[in-house]
Amino acid sequence: MPQGFLAFPQGFRWGTATAAHQVEGYNTNNQWWQWEQQPGRIVNGDTSGIACNWWRNAEADFDWMVTLAQNAHRLSVEWSRIEPREGHFDEAALERYRAMVRALRERGIEPMITLHHFTNPIWLEEQRCWLRADRIVPLFRRFVERVVRALGDLCDLWCTINEPNVYAVMSYFGGRMPPGLTDMGSAITVMQNLLVAHAAAYEAIHAIQPRARVGLAHHMRYFQGLRPHLFLDALVARVIDGIFNESLLLALLRGRWHWMLWRGAPVSARKLRATLDWIGLNYYTRQRIAFDHTGGQALFGTLVNTPGVIMSDYDFGEIFPEGLRYFLRKLARYRLPIFITENGLPDADDDLRPMFIVRHLRALWEALQAGCDVRGYYHWSLVDNFEWNEGWRMRFGLIAMDWRTQQRTPRQSAFLYRDVARANALTPEIVQAYTPELFSQVFA
């Protein structure tokens, strides 16, 4: 490799990530569909509707992946399609997923399958099963076994749960996702049950498929005090970091879960230990915290933006690639393979995304040089898709999509990412072509 190339390891996975409800369309049998129908829940009154039409024709976008030189894709399966009624499994739905995963394989794209990505069948939601370990653990385990038996000959890379911390906090404390609760105690219970359900799934998958590689996608935010001279800002940021970022890793890697006395924990924390074969990192942004003596949003902290920085289309969308390098180096201490299971930004006019990608890939490359065992990078996302409460307003795709017409138009970033994947490197030519203003920084 000529000098000046930022080369990535041979066999590095270059992919994108999606979630069933955000792309498939007409997932009418889950709690999100119900939530979307309630006035005021989703920005502009949007609904997922046909989404990206993947249930009927994901293959058209798989062709785009080939065009964009990708060799990996992370997708999820929709529990409400596979088990529309409790204990009733839909073989046709499983067959459709088999066809999708086969179609990826035929195109030389390695699948990673997520088994839970925010959505639940309505029957499960109505019984508030995630609040009850005695219900959710056996139900999730049975569902996982069914999926692994159906798809195991086509996939051995499993992501049990997407962002347990986000799901627990946003759905049971923040009130922003269904069921819309605002109760800290419920959020802790759900978090605990997610961990136990993950451990049960880990065991079940390995029992069926001994060679399986099982992990989960963990969302980490770089929390930092707003005012450098204020000890209390830093303290609150540290506490939130410990709860949101670290506690899950300590539980699943070291068997330490400080909340285990919480409302009659269903298993000993030791049972959670060593239940990851790899760590998935979903990294997006830095979040500043200001101490607030009146209580703030949580734990005496209020979330604020760093003054004067460039933001993505999100209100809290600071672009902070240093955070990616920081977390990779932190995760490397656990001595497991790492996948960046999500990284991206909403940027409808694509004026920031090329810079975002190049700077994050540079940070990733530095982490690799420092010895971090990162195996792949999955950009969020391939095509603009249904962004939960934000509806269709937030545009995360390498490819722009008008959801009404289903018309796809690749953004400039798609070609940048294609060129990196093809070269398996960030080359001077690529940086010069797409982000010349970064050339001296990237190749410093």
Candidates 342, 347, 384, 419: give the one binding ligand IFM (CB under 6 A). Answer: 342
- As measured in angstroms, the least distance from the Cβ of 301 to ligand IFM is 21
- As measured in angstroms, the least distance from the Cβ of 313 to ligand IFM is 11
Q: Which residue lies nearer to ligand IFM by CB, 19 or 272?
A: 19
Joined together, the tokens standing for residue 272 give 């959670």
- As measured in angstroms, the least distance from the Cβ of 282 to ligand IFM is 5
Q: Which residue lies nearer to ligand IFM by CB, 143 or 388?
A: 388
Phi and psi angles of residue 224, each rounded to the nearest 5 degrees, phi first: -145, 140
How many residues lie near ligand IFM (CB under 6 A)? 7
Q: What is the C-alpha to C-alpha distance for residues 444 and 442, in angstroms, rounded to an integer?
A: 6
Q: Which residue lies nearer to ligand IFM by CB, 8 or 35?
A: 35
CA distances from 102 to 56, 110, 128, 329 (A): 15, 10, 34, 35
Residue 121 is given by DSSP the state B
Q: Is residue 156 near ligand IFM by the rule CB under 6 A? A: no
Q: Which residue lies nearer to ligand IFM by CB, 12 or 283?
A: 283
Q: Is residue 163 near ligand IFM by the rule CB under 6 A? A: yes
Distance of CA 49 to the CA centre of its chain: 22
Q: Is residue 318 near ligand IFM by the rule CB under 6 A? A: no
Neighbouring residues of 55: CB distance < 8 A, sequence distance ≥ 6: 24, 25, 26, 27, 96
Binders of ligand IFM among residues 287 to 316 (CB under 6 A) are none
Q: Is 66 exposed, middle or buried (0-12, 13-18, 19+ CB in 10 A)?
A: middle
Candidates 35, 54, 380, 434: give the one binding ligand IFM (CB under 6 A). Answer: 380
End-to-end CA distance of the chain: 17
Q: Which residue lies nearer to ligand IFM by CB, 72 or 236?
A: 72
Candidates 6, 12, 15, 19: give the one binding ligand IFM (CB under 6 A). Answer: 19
Q: Is residue 24 near ligand IFM by the rule CB under 6 A? A: no
Q: Is residue 114 near ligand IFM by the rule CB under 6 A? A: no
Burial 179-188 (b: 16+ CB within 10 A, else e): bebeeeebbb
Candidates 114, 209, 245, 282: give the one binding ligand IFM (CB under 6 A). Answer: 282
Q: Is residue 8 near ligand IFM by the rule CB under 6 A? A: no
- Which of 353, 344, 241 is CA-nearest to residue 288? 241
Neighbouring residues of 429: CB distance < 8 A, sequence distance ≥ 6: none
Residue 383 is given by DSSP the state B
Q: Is residue 387 near ligand IFM by the rule CB under 6 A? A: yes
94 by DSSP, 3-state: which?
helix
- As measured in angstroms, the least distance from the Cβ of 12 to ligand IFM is 22
Q: Is there a contact between 51 and 386 (Cβ–Cβ < 8 Å)?
A: yes
Q: Is residue 222 near ligand IFM by the rule CB under 6 A? A: no
Q: Is residue 93 near ligand IFM by the rule CB under 6 A? A: no
Joined together, the tokens standing for residue 37 give 């129908």
Give contact residues for ligand IFM (rule: CB under 6 A): 19, 22, 163, 282, 342, 380, 387
